[in-house]
């Protein structure tokens, strides 16, 4: 739901509203990215080192739960089928909204803003300020620029940190590809529609949150590095499993019956196989992010967590275009969507190899 709020101002069919909507989207994205950096930087001050893994995992799981509740709430109480006038659960919408103007979909914006306000207020009210943050804005900006130059100069001496940030960039690119294009591949393969993709999305978020919560303690027990490696290996298995499935075969060659034209939801063996491996993506993706964040919280120099989490956010976004670009190039060159999505495998393998070199 992040970034959706400004679309409330965009009226379908009225071009004059689009510039305002796009400015709003940009502000929402920038605000979200900055908030995430400072949110992550609080982690080292909120838990002792032997509990950072589970706290990071709990934070990711609660965030996933919040997103899931928001999605289900919209589908159950506000978004109605234009033909029946009923929501997904058969209720009349709580508000009388014009489906022709897409008012129900645009309501996501104000509801998201209210959601943020309600759930961030306790932190602003109850959490004490850091005394060091009470200086003037000008002095803080100057201190920040000096610290930025110092951090850049530190990277040659902190090879493990630099290697981890690059590895995070690479394996997150791989995760982004399989999340973004896995559903497209399944749609082309099995003709999945909105119902299947919505069910898959809800399942992925649910499994990701549960897995993050369950595996947080293992991060503290065995170390964030090992958890990252285990999650990336799991993603490699899941990616190969998805790519190894066609309409009438699984695991790169085992023949199975093709889906029936009027089959049940995820009724064929191929569909069940893709769904199962997609759940593995969710089960590894949530813990991977939580463990990556915990690792950086543990190795960042004391008092400089915000700086390094800024680079952490940058490393996760800087090359986000690389994965989709590689998919497009390989798909066009090979004439195969399957081979295009296969670029996920070398990205994940390279990230895994880099993490393996960390101390």
Q: What pTM, to 2 d.p., does this model score?
A: 0.78
Contact 278, 238 (CB under 8 A): yes
Closest alpha carbon to 354 in 206, 225, 190: 225
Residue with tokens 């070398």: 346
> What domains can be seen in the chain, in order of their start residue?
1-41+78-123 (no CATH), 50-76+163-359 (1.20.1250.20)
Model pLDDT, residue 354: 93
**C-alpha distances in angstroms, 45 versus 49, 50, 124, 356?**
10, 13, 16, 27
In the structure encoding, which two tokens stand for residue 261, read together?
């034209």
- Region 182-186 average pLDDT: 81
In the structure encoding, which two tokens stand for residue 24, read together?
């709003």
Is pLDDT larger for residue 29 or for residue 159?
A: 159
Give the whole-angstrom CA distance, residue 229 versus residue 227.
5
pLDDT digits (tens, 9 = 90+) for 15-43: 455 566 667 667 777 777 777 777 787 78
Contact 300, 292 (CB under 8 A): no
Length of the chain: 359
Give the whole-angstrom CA distance, residue 165 versus residue 163.
6
Contact 141, 244 (CB under 8 A): no
Work out the pLDDT band at 349, boundaries 50, 70, 90.
very high
Closest alpha carbon to 202 in 115, 265, 114: 265
Q: Rounded to 5 degrees, what are φ and ψ at 82?
A: -60, -30
Closest alpha carbon to 237 in 82, 79, 345, 109: 345
Q: Any idea what DSSP says for residue 128?
A: P
pLDDT digits (tens, 9 = 90+) for 234-259: 999 999 999 888 877 888 877 777 77
């Amino acid at each position: 739901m992040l970034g959706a709020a400004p679309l409330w101002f965009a009226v379908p069919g009225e071009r004059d509203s689009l510039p305002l909507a796009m400015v709003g989207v940009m502000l929402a994205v920038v605000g979200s990215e900055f908030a995430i950096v400072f949110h992550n930087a609080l982690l080292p001050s909120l838990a002792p080192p032997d509990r950072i893994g589970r706290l990071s995992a709990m934070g990711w799981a609660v965030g996933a739960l919040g997103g899931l509740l928001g999605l289900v709430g919209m589908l159950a109480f506000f978004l109605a089928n234009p033909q029946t006038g009923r929501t997904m659960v058969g209720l009349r919408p709580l508000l009388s909204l014009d489906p022709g103007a897409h008012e129900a979909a645009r309501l996501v914006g104000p509801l998201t803003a209210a959601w943020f306000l309600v759930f961030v207020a306790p932190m602003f009210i109850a959490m004490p300020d850091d005394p060091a943050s009470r200086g003037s804005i000008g002095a803080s900006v100057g201190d920040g620029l000096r610290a930025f130059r110092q951090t850049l100069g530190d990277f040659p001496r902190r090879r493990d940190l630099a290697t981890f940030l690059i590895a995070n960039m690479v394996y997150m690119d791989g995760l982004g590809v399989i999340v973004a294009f896995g559903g497209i591949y399944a749609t082309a393969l099995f003709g999945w529609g909105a119902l299947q993709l919505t069910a898959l999305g809800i399942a992925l978020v649910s499994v990701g949150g549960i897995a993050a919560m369950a595996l947080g303690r293992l991060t503290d027990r065995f170390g964030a590095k090992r958890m990252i490696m285990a999650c990336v290996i799991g993603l490699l298995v899941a990616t190969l499993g998805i790519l190894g499935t066609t309409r009438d075969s699984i695991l790169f060659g085992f023949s199975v019956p093709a889906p029936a034209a009027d089959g049940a939801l995820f009724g064929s063996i191929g569909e069940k196989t893709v769904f199962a491996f997609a759940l593995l993506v969710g089960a590894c993706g949530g813990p991977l992010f939580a463990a990556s964040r915990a690792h950086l919280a543990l190795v960042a120099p004391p008092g400089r967590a915000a700086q390094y989490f800024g680079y952490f956010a940058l490393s996760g976004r800087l090359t986000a275009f690389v994965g989709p670009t590689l998919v497009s190039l390989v798909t066009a060159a090979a004439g195969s969507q399957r081979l295009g999505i296969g670029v996920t495998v070398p990205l994940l393998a390279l990230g895994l190899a880099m993490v393996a070199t960390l101390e």
